[in-house]
C-alpha cells in the first residue's frame, strides 16, 4: 500500500507530491501513521476530559507531553455489532476499573435506578470516578451502533503513569467539588490563629459536616470602611471567584458576610 504526501510551498502554484510505501513511512516514523493519528486524536479528547466530570478543571491543564504519555497507555477495543456489552454489573466484578473514551460510533449508558439511558457519541467519556476515586461504577454500557471503537485506561495503568502528587490533587479536586458548602457555624478552628494584621487574619478551619479542611480569611469591616477599601475587597473577591478553577491558584470556595 502506498501513501501520497502533498506539500505546498509559499506560492499558490508550488506543489510537491511524493508517493511512499506504507512500510517505508512506518520505518521512517518509527510506527504506523494511523496509530500516530489516532493517538493525537485521543490527546485532543483527553484535553477536554473533566477529572471530576462535575464542572471542575479539565485534563487540559496537563502538558501535551504528559497527555501523550497517558494516551499511549490506553487500550483499544472495537465492537462490530450493536448491543454488545461493554460494562455491566457482572463484568464490573471481573474486570478492572477503567476510564472509557468513545473514539468512533456511540455508546448507550444506563445509570443505576434510571429509566432514561443516554447516548454518548465520539469524544465522550465515562467511568472516570472509578479510576480517579476507586468508586464502583453506577452504570452499565452497551454498544449503540455497529463498528464502534472505544479506548480505555485501567486504574492500574493510571496509577503507574500519574505521580502520587498529581493523583492527590485530582482526588482533592473531585471531592472538593462534590461536597456541600458548609455554613459559617459549621466551621471549627483546627490550629492556633496566625498573627493578624490590622486588615485581615487567616484561620485553619474544618467543616463539622464533611470534615473538609479550609483556610478562612477574615477581614476587619471597620478597617475597610475607615480606609475606604470596599471597592478593592470587592474586586479581590470577584477575581478570586472568577479564577477558582485555575490549577495554579488557590481555589476560593465561597465567601461569608458577618
Q: Rounded distance, CA 73 to CA 96, Å?
A: 14
**Residues 169, 194: one domain?**
no
Residue with the bigger pLDDT between 31 and 53: it is: 31
Are 69 and 129 found together in one domain? yes
What is the pLDDT, as a whole number, of residue 117? 87
CB of 149 closer than 8 Å to CB of 109: no
Q: Does 45 reside within a domain?
A: yes
Is the separation of the CB atoms in 210 and 179 below 8 Å? yes
Express as a percent the part of the chain with pLDDT over 70.
68
Q: Please report whether residue 129 resides in a domain.
A: yes
**Residue ranges making up the domain that contains 80:** 36-177
Q: Give the model confidence (pLDDT) of 196-210 as tens digits.
A: 676 778 888 888 766
Residues 206 and 235 in one domain: yes
69 and 163 part of one domain: yes
Domain count, the chain: 3
105, 226: one domain: no
User: What b/e readout covers 25-55, taking b as 16+ CB neighbours within 10 angstroms?
Assistant: bbeeeeeeeeeeebbebbbebbeebbbbeee
* pLDDT of 55 strictly over 50: no
Summarised one tens digit per residue, pLDDT across range 5-17 is 545 555 555 555 5
41 and 19 within one domain? no
Per the structure block, which three cell numbers stand in for 67? 497527555
What region, left, alpha or beta, does residue 113 occupy, with left being phi > 0 and alpha being psi -120 to 50 degrees? left
| Strand locations in 44-94 (E) | 75-79, 85-87
State whether 23 and 40 are in the same domain: no
Domain membership of residue 52 (yes or no) is yes
Mean pLDDT of 23-45: 65
Residue 57 contacts by C-beta under 8 Å, 6 or more apart in sequence?
50, 51, 173, 245, 246, 247
Query: Half-sphere exposure of 6 toward its Cβ, with a 13 Å CA cutoff?
Result: 2
pLDDT for res 27? 57
Q: Average model confidence (pLDDT) for the chain?
A: 75
Whether this model's pTM surpasses 0.75: no
What DSSP character marks residue 29? Answer: H
255 in a structural domain: no
In terms of pLDDT, which residue wins out, 40 or 56? 40
More confident residue, 8 or 135: 135
In a domain, 247, yes or no: no
Q: Residues 66, 116: one domain? A: yes
Same domain, 169 and 199: no
Name residue, grid cell 432514561: 116
- The 10 Å Cβ neighbour count of residue 150 is 25
Judged against a pLDDT cut of 70, whether residue 52 lies above it is answered with no
Evaluate if residue 144 carries a pLDDT over 90: yes
Specify the pLDDT at position 28.
Answer: 58
Per-residue model confidence as pLDDT tens digits over 231-248: 888 888 888 888 776 767
Of 153, 177, 201, the last residue of a domain is 177
What CATH number corresponds to the domain at position 122? 2.60.120.10
CA separation for the pair 63, 165 (Å, rounded): 16
**160-185 confidence digits (pLDDT tens):** 877 787 777 667 666 665 566 788 88
Taking alpha carbons only, the member of 86, 95, 100, 3 closest to residue 49 is 100
65-109 pLDDT, tens digit each: 777 777 888 888 999 999 898 888 666 555 568 889 898 899 999
Q: In which element (H, E) is residue 70 found?
A: helix 64-71
Is 258 part of any domain?
Answer: no
Q: Are 113 and 70 contained in the same domain?
A: yes
- pLDDT confidence of residue 31: 54
Q: Is residue 256 part of a domain?
A: no
The pair phi, psi for residue 204, each rounded to 5°, is: -95, 115
Q: Indicate if 237 and 127 belong to the same structural domain.
A: no
Band of pLDDT at residue 56, cut at 50, 70 and 90: very low
Cβ count within 10 A of residue 73: 16
Higher pLDDT: 105 or 54? It is 105
Give a yes or no: residue 195 inside a domain: yes
Amino acid at each position: 500500500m502506498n501513501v501520497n504526501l502533498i506539500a505546498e510551498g509559499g506560492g499558490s502554484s508550488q506543489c510537491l507530491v511524493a508517493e511512499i510505501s506504507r512500510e517505508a513511512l512506518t520505518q521512517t516514523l518509527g510506527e504506523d501513521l494511523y496509530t500516530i493519528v489516532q493517538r493525537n486524536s485521543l490527546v485532543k479528547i483527553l484535553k477536554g476530559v473533566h477529572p471530576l466530570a462535575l464542572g471542575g478543571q479539565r485534563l487540559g491543564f496537563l502538558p501535551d507531553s504528559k497527555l501523550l504519555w497517558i494516551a499511549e497507555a490506553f487500550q483499544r477495543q472495537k465492537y462490530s455489532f450493536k448491543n454488545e456489552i461493554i460494562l455491566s454489573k457482572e463484568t464490573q466484578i471481573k474486570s478492572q476499573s477503567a476510564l472509557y473514551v468513545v473514539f468512533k460510533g456511540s455508546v448507550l449508558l444506563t445509570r443505576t435506578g434510571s429509566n432514561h439511558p443516554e447516548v454518548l457519541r465520539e469524544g465522550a467519556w465515562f467511568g472516570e470516578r472509578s479510576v480517579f476515586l476507586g468508586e464502583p461504577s453506577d452504570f452499565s454500557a452497551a454498544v449503540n451502533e455497529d463498528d464502534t471503537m472505544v479506548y480505555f485506561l485501567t486504574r492500574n495503568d493510571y496509577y503507574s503513569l500519574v505521580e502520587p502528587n498529581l493523583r492527590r490533587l485530582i482526588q482533592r479536586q473531585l471531592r472538593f467539588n462534590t461536597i456541600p458548602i458548609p455554613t459559617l457555624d459549621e466551621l471549627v478552628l483546627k490550629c492556633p490563629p496566625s498573627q493578624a494584621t490590622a486588615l485581615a487574619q487567616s484561620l485553619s478551619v474544618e467543616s463539622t459536616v464533611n470534615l473538609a479542611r479550609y483556610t478562612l480569611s477574615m477581614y476587619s469591616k471597620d478597617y475597610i470602611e475607615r480606609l475606604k477599601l470596599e471597592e478593592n475587597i470587592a474586586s479581590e473577591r470577584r477575581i478570586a471567584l472568577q479564577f477558582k478553577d485555575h490549577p495554579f491558584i488557590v481555589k476560593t470556595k465561597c465567601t461569608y458576610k458577618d
